[in-house]
Chains A and B, each alone.
Chain A
Amino acid sequence: MSTPSAVEVVPVAAKRQPFRFIANKKAATGVAIVGFFVLLAIIGPWIAPYDASARSSDLLQPPSGAHWFGTTHLGQDVFSQILVGTRGVVFVGFLAGVIATVLSVIVGVTAGYLGGAADDSLSALSNVFLVIPALPLIIIITSLLERSTDLMIALVIGLTSWAWNARVLRAQTLSLRRRDYVEAARATGESTWRVIFFEILPNLTAIIASGFVGTVIFAVMSEITLAFIGITTVSEWNWGTILFWAQGQQALASGAWWWFVPAGLAIAILGTALSLVNFGIDEFVSPRLRSAGKTTIKTASGHTVRMRVGFTPVLRTTPLGTRPVSPHAPAVPLDAVDLGVDVDREEKELA
């Protein structure tokens, strides 16, 4: 790169403080919201005002003080269902994320580091998993299962959705392996495992983290979809189950918007929060992606100029004929400044 840049020093500082990306506003917002949902997943069943499955005589009631999110056709409290259902969503999302991440690290790093035939076969394997449509595959497998508990669902999603991250990790490992410090570690006879754990993996942290978050998003969506189309055990509450009942009982036609709006919003908010975390990680890794905050500046002549590639803004121009004055005060009072003497003219006279 030839473009001079005096200010891109961020990555150096980043190495030492792995959690500094929280300082990013997007990431902080995302982490806070995800944290809130994780908290709900833990305490949700205890703070739920009603038993999520308990019927009552308040059939299909709109939101009220007694039922914040209204009730279902059986008089069940939607708010309690959401609270209780959070646990399943978060559990499946994170477990599937962990499984897929572990698999992708094993496959990706091994393929990238070992190269050769191992790389070829592992790459082919991940490419196959990548192009086979994941959701239909998950639907087929889970619908053949006799009991599709949250644990089974998490396993199936985790085992089928590691390919994308493995691909990204392989590429990155491949480029890390050629770096000087890794070559040096290999040359000094460090064992393969030591090199992978101490030289390669630490430098993959951001990519692994962002892959994990991406898989969690995918797992949450898949799980809710499975519940929505009625494949998972309907006795375990999650947001998809709520939508399944709402859809099955014609909540739309009967105008019971409160039945499906909260669950959908909860999914969207959790998904957005996870995406924000990922944006934070991306921008942390390549600072250039940050959305440019202030892109216009005022020049001395009162014009507004947009900061853009190819046309560096000029803050102050001086009409020709007058000498441009320095914006910085001279360090020494230049008593001897003689505007008449100038090297160019001197040289011209000499020529």
Chain B
Amino acid sequence: MKHLLRRVAFYLFTAWAAITLNFFIPRLIPGDPVRSMISRYQGQLNADAIQSLYILFGLDEKKSLWQQYVEYWSQLLHGDLGLSFTFFPAPVSQVIGDSIGWTVTLVGITTVVSFAIGTLLGVLAGWRRGSWVDGLLPATTFLSSIPYFWLGLIAITLLAGPGSFFPSSGGYEPGLVPAWDQWFIGSAVQHSILPAFTILISSVSGWILSMRNMMVTVAAEDYITVAHAKGLPERRVALAYAARNALLPNVSGFALSLGFIVGGTLLVEIVFSYPGLGFQLFQAVGAKDYPLMQGVFLVITLSVLAANLLADLAYLALDPRTRKEG
């Protein structure tokens, strides 16, 4: 319990740090681009919207930094992230709300599947040194060195295009209206297969390698020798003793590297014009849509934190040593 509370406190602290960082970044940088953007839309922006952008980007120099900070927080807590310039006059929160589901589904599912497959293959490679999985390692290293987005480009060239089963861009058939019906879901699944495989192929190798190395390390532990000496079935030694223990550092590694993984997977969305957060970030960068950029960054960071907390909880459930306080 103590452990859990400590972790929650850490995540709250990190969330606070990220939000504060988000507050300071635009203030450390000359405010001119935002100001010019606001003046360009002046005729269409209402006073409230302009006020909220002023707060977000620290353009109101009359107020003290502390006042700005307090206002920034109160605005965030009301869910106000400003107006998007690209999708004018949609508020940033709405743009993000429309795209976050796509990202969470695509990136979330593929990341977990990739971790599961990689861990499984890593168990095989580490337990049976010199078997075919071990031989696979150089190839997977090469695949993981390819940038996600380039692999996506290749996949589109080779597999997608007119007449192919795989669409080359988008999240669903353009004519469809998003709804929970079979056509829409079918189309969404069809559109997600290539991006998902791209992420999978690039990211799985890291998990194979780390799990294999953990298995090799754990296989030399005394309790593995004891398990063999006890005459337990091979399967039980490999899974309940070796893999079960090797999984622990791999799970905490998973939690720690979520931030890295998410960064890479966002790019896949860009290549496939997949309507998620990464694609929005890309568009925002292209259009210098600072409110949207800031909002996307904030949401991505908070999602990664939430995922981290989940991975931490999984670790807690897996390792009895962390819950000894009872």
Contacts and interface: CB of A to CB of B under 8 A. Distances in A.
A268 interface: yes
A130 interface: yes
Contact of B157 (A134, A252, A310): A252
A144 B290 contact: yes
B217 A230 contact: no
B134 A224 contact: no
Nearest to A255: B157
Contacts of A221: 147, 264
Nearest to A123: B10
Given A264-B154, A267-B146, A136 B213 contact: no
Interface stretch (B14-22, B48-56, B70-78, B89-97): B14-22
Contact of A295 (B30, B130, B264): B130
B129 A143 contact: no
A131 B300 CA distance: 11
Contact of A132 (B141, B237, B267, B301): B301
Contacts of A130: 256, 259
A3 B146 CA distance: 40
Nearest to B259: A133
Contacts of B147: 221, 224-225, 228, 264, 267-268
Nearest to A288: B216
Contacts of B237: 310
A291 B297 contact: no
Contacts of B175: none
Contacts of A1: 220, 222
Contacts, number: 175
Interface of chain B, helix or strand or loop or mixed?
A: helix
Given A127-B10, A243-B150, A139 B281 contact: yes
Contacts of B301: 132-133, 136
Interface stretch (A39-47, A201-209, A269-277, A319-327): A269-277
Given A1-B222, A264-B153, A124 B10 contact: yes
Given A134-B260, A291-B129, A295-B130, A272 B29 contact: no
B21, B258, B290, B308 interface centre (most CB from chain A within 10 Å): B21
A135 interface: yes
A269 B237 CA distance: 38
B43 interface: no
A33 B206 CA distance: 21
Interface in A223-238: 224-225, 228-231
A308 interface: yes
A351 to B, nearest CB: 31
Looking at A140, A296, A306, A307, which has the most chain B CB atoms within 10 Å of its CB? A140
B29 A145 contact: yes
Contacts of A140: 25, 293-294, 297
B14 A132 contact: yes
B247 to A, nearest CB: 18
B219 interface: yes
A143 B144 CA distance: 27
B281 A132 contact: no
Nearest to A5: B220
User: Which has the most chain A C-beta neighbours within 10 Å: B21, B29, B130?
Assistant: B130
20 contacts: A3-B225, A127-B14, A130-B256, A134-B263, A137-B21, A139-B281, A143-B288, A229-B282, A230-B286, A243-B150, A252-B157, A260-B153, A261-B154, A271-B146, A272-B145, A288-B217, A292-B134, A307-B129, A309-B228, A310-B225
Given A131-B14, A261-B154, 13 more contacts: A127-B14, A140-B25, A224-B147, A243-B150, A267-B147, A268-B150, A271-B146, A279-B141, A286-B217, A295-B129, A308-B129, A309-B219, A310-B237
Interface of B: 10, 13-14, 17-18, 21, 25-26, 29-30, 33, 128-130, 134, 137, 141-142, 144-147, 149-150, 153-154, 156-157, 213, 216-217, 219-220, 222, 224-225, 227-228, 237, 256, 258-260, 262-264, 266-267, 270-271, 281-282, 285-286, 288, 290, 293-294, 296-297, 300-301, 304-305, 308
